[in-house]
Amino acid sequence: MSFDINEYYSRLNGGDVLMAFKGSISSELISNVLEVVESKMDEYSESSKIRKKVYNVLVESLQNLYHHIEVLPDEMQKMFDDKFGILVVSRQDDKYKISTGNFIGQDKVDVLRNKIDKINSMTREELKDMYKFILNHQRLSEKGGGGLGLVDIARKTGNQLDYTFEKFDDTYYFFNLDVFIDL
């Protein structure tokens, strides 16, 4: 049986959910999500330090989705919106959790897995050096992505990036990333 997106999505909807979305990740959607989450954080009277961290990490998470979502083959486009992605922002007693999910070609799984494992193995100082190196030496892609998003998230949260790759079919996996921001 292949990976069940709906089952997975409903499983993410635990805790105090500020925002849950599945569908097309567009620039407008990103603007709307940021606005909603920002006003919800006001309701929680979060400190400006936490609000800034969550906002920053949310921007990077969403724009990572936006830049890296793949064009799906025709038969999958019948099942999923164009630029299909999942986002759930929730608040637990001691932390915020930002979950994102998107399809990824099987051929790219190892590269991404290795990149995240490497980031997770690094100290704060090493992450800072890596960030500065990429900042200073790598050009922006045409789409505007710079390969800095995950490093920035790891630096700002100080937490491990939790991820899974679930097999969807012979060519696609579903990549789930959970990012935690301590309160």
Partner 1 sequence: MEALSIEGTAKTPSVKFDGQEGVIEIKGRSIPENSIEFYKPLVEWLEQYSGSPMDLTQVNVQLEYFNTSSSKCILDVFKKLEAIHKGKSEVIINWYYEEDDEDMLEAGEDYESIIRVPFKMIEIVE
* Residue ranges that bind partner 1, judged by CB under 8 A: 27, 30-31, 34-35, 47-49, 52-53, 55-56, 59-60, 63, 66-67, 128, 131-132, 135-136, 138-140, 143-146, 148-149, 152, 156
Q: Which is nearer to partner 1, 67 or 113 (CB)?
A: 67
Q: Least distance from C-beta 177 to partner 1, angstroms?
A: 16
Q: Least distance from C-beta 106 to partner 1, angstroms?
A: 27
Residue 177 phi/psi, 5-degree rounding, is -125, 125
Q: Which is nearer to partner 1, 118 or 128 (CB)?
A: 128
Q: Which is nearer to partner 1, 5 or 63 (CB)?
A: 63
| Closest by Cα among 50, 59, 156, 135 to 96 | 50
Count Cα neighbours of 6 within 13 Å in the Cβ-side half-sphere: 2
Concatenate the DSSP letters of all residues of 10-65 into one string: HHH--SEEEEEEEEE--HHHHHHHHHHHHHHHHHTT--HHHHHHHHHHHHHHHHHH
Q: Provide long-range contacts, Cβ within 8 A and 24+ apart, for 72-76.
A: 72/103, 72/172, 73/171, 76/103, 76/172
Q: Least distance from C-beta 65 to partner 1, angstroms?
A: 11
Q: Least distance from C-beta 10 to partner 1, angstroms?
A: 29
Q: Which is nearer to partner 1, 15 or 146 (CB)?
A: 146
Q: Least distance from C-beta 136 to partner 1, angstroms?
A: 6
Q: Which is nearer to partner 1, 113 or 156 (CB)?
A: 156
Is the Cβ–Cβ distance between 8 and 166 less than 8 Å?
A: yes
